[in-house]
Structure 1
Amino acid sequence: MFSRLRLSGPVLALSLALSCTTALPVFAADKPLDKAAVEQIVRDYLLTHPEILLEAMEALEKKQQAEGDKAVAEALKSNRKALEQNAMSPVGGNAKGDVTLVEFFDYNCGYCKRTHPERSAAVKGDGKVRVVYKEFPILAPSSKEAAKAALAANRQGKYEAFHTALMTHEGRLDSDAIRATAKDVGLDLKKLEQDMGDPAIEAEIKANMELAQKLGIRGTPGFVIGDTVVPGAIETEQFIALFNATRAAKKAGG
């Protein structure tokens, strides 16, 4: 997710020195200042005008935010196919929808479980949204086990049923809970175990991790809707607004 960075001592000192140079008094060339004198002048100026500290911090934050936004925009552009068209990534919603929602999640994430019904309601209500699921197991070993089981379930055509069952499971997952859930949704457990060991499933999870890092998604849930990266849980109305904004942007772009 995007985050605001706090200035460290050296960076702040450098920023202030660069910001203050034009405001310092001009001295005659025949009276060079030593280091201690310069430091005293800077100190006195900052004590007299402390508001410059806030101005410097705000300017740096804006610059960092702009640089971060530009990097994410470039990452979205260069990784669009991996985001939306990876054959290994399960797809739900309307497969022919005019808007694609990409979701990064962890089955042990409370926020993912909280936003699941919100997202589901928005997708169902809209009717024209394609959903791409990106398994992003970062919270516990059982998260990765659940992710592998979900991708294996996709090979039996029951990904969304299994996904929903795991998302609505109360409490932390363990091996027994994962297999009990698989049995409840009618999965062939023997085939599931075999497919979970396929290197291709491990590769899909690794690719999702790398993709999330490029997009600045460091927690769950994370969503990509059009050209917007949403780092965190949102509600039904916000999903709907983003669907409509994405359509409007496509229409405006021709």
Structure 2
Amino acid sequence: MKKTLILATTLLMGSLNIQAQSLDDQQKQEVRELVRKTLVENPDILVEAMNELRKREIAAQQNAEKQMLEARQKQLFENPENPIMGNPEASVTIAYFGDYNCGFCKRQDPILKKIVEENPDVKIVIKELPVLGPESREAAEMALATFKLDKDKYLSVNQRLMSRPGRHTSNSIKAALIAEGVDSDKLKVDESVTRQLEENLRLAQELGIRGTPALVFPNEVLRGYTEEGVLKEKIKQRL
């Protein structure tokens, strides 16, 4: 708030200084004194300027986000190396950035599963985003390696990893794979897995996603945990 107030004042003074460039030094000083007096006597002017500046900042952020989304549609929603949840032919697509060690993702995941089960017009593109340490990275690598080896087993592995309370260890990750009938010795974390994780991290940075979960529609980014009712309304608006 303080920074915004200072910036608003600076912009206001700067604008007046530009307009006063044709004045002599005495006239410029008189203008400055008049501005100072006006602001002191009418502080609401600064509040209005601050509010207007904030509106412009928000509009600029939204415009930048819109442009980035338009430029990244294929990477977000049409990458065949990304696993999906739900009907592949659904009309509404959401990209889901999650981490297996994220507590809020463990709450978000069942909501997404329920939504795609209830609504064949929705599909979720899963974007593994391991940002919470080496075990997050290991879990994401094993999940994607499972997808490459046997696509049919990916979702069960994904959901088992996500449903475990607390943080993962290498042992818990291996146990999840064994429980779903996946031989971890046959899994290969190759260049395509690494490339996909790096692309997911880059997309998240470009979209201003600082953590998980995050849900991305073709024209909107929802950062953080999203309540079921809110998400259903967002989907309804797009059907």
Q: TM-score range by the shorter chain?
A: 0.7 to 0.9
Deviations along 1:89-124, one digit per CA (max 9) or x if unpaired, are 111211121111110111111111111112221221
Unaligned runs of 5+ in 1: 248-254
Partner of 1:183: 178
Partner of 1:222: 214
CA shift for structure 1 position 34: 6.3
Q: Secondary structure in 2 aligned to 1:176?
A: helix
Q: Secondary structure in 1 aligned to 2:158?
A: helix
Distance 2:24 2:36 in 1: 23
Please list, as runs of the form range in 1=range in 2, the aligned pairs for 1:154-233 lying within 5 A after superposition.
Answer: 154-155=147-148, 156-157=150-151, 158-192=153-187, 195-196=188-189, 198-233=190-225
CA shift for structure 1 position 6: 5.1
Conserved? CA contact 2:73–2:218, under 8 Å: no
Question: What is the TM-score when the length of structure 1 is the normalising length?
Answer: 0.83
Q: How many residues align?
A: 234
Deviations along 1:41-96, one digit per CA (max 9) or x if unpaired, are 44332221111222122111111111111111111111111111112111121112
Conserved? CA contact 2:99–2:131, under 8 Å: yes
Q: Secondary structure in 1 aligned to 2:164?
A: coil
CA shift for structure 1 position 169: 0.6
Question: What is the TM-score when the length of structure 2 is the normalising length?
Answer: 0.88
Unaligned runs of 5+ in 2: none
CA shift for structure 1 position 30: 7.3
Task: Identify if the C-alpha distance between structure 1 residues 79 and 40 changes in structure 2 by more than 3 Å, giving closer, same or farther.
Answer: same
Conserved? CA contact 2:85–2:113, under 8 Å: no
CA shift for structure 1 position 185: 1.2
Letter in 2 for 1:57: M
Match among 78, 84, 107 for residue 71 of structure 2: 78
Partner of 1:16: 12
Partner of 1:246: 238
CA shift for structure 1 position 134: 0.3
RMSD: 2.5
Conserved? CA contact 1:226–1:246, under 8 Å: no
Task: Identify if the C-alpha distance between structure 1 residues 96 and 216 changes in structure 2 by more than 3 Å, giving closer, same or farther.
Answer: same
- Please list every run of at least 4 consecutive aligned residues from structure 1 whose deviation after the TM superposition is greater than 3 angstroms: 37-43
Q: Does 1:236 align with 2:232?
A: no
Q: Secondary structure in 1 aligned to 2:166?
A: coil
CA shift for structure 1 position 33: 4.3
Q: Does 1:110 align with 2:107?
A: no
Partner of 2:143: 150
Distance 2:25 2:135 in 1: 70
CA shift for structure 1 position 18: 4.3
Conserved? CA contact 1:106–1:220, under 8 Å: yes
Deviations along 1:207-248, one digit per CA (max 9) or x if unpaired, are 01111122222221111123221112112222222222112x
User: Equivalent pairs: percent with the same residue?
Assistant: 34
Conserved? CA contact 1:225–1:243, under 8 Å: no
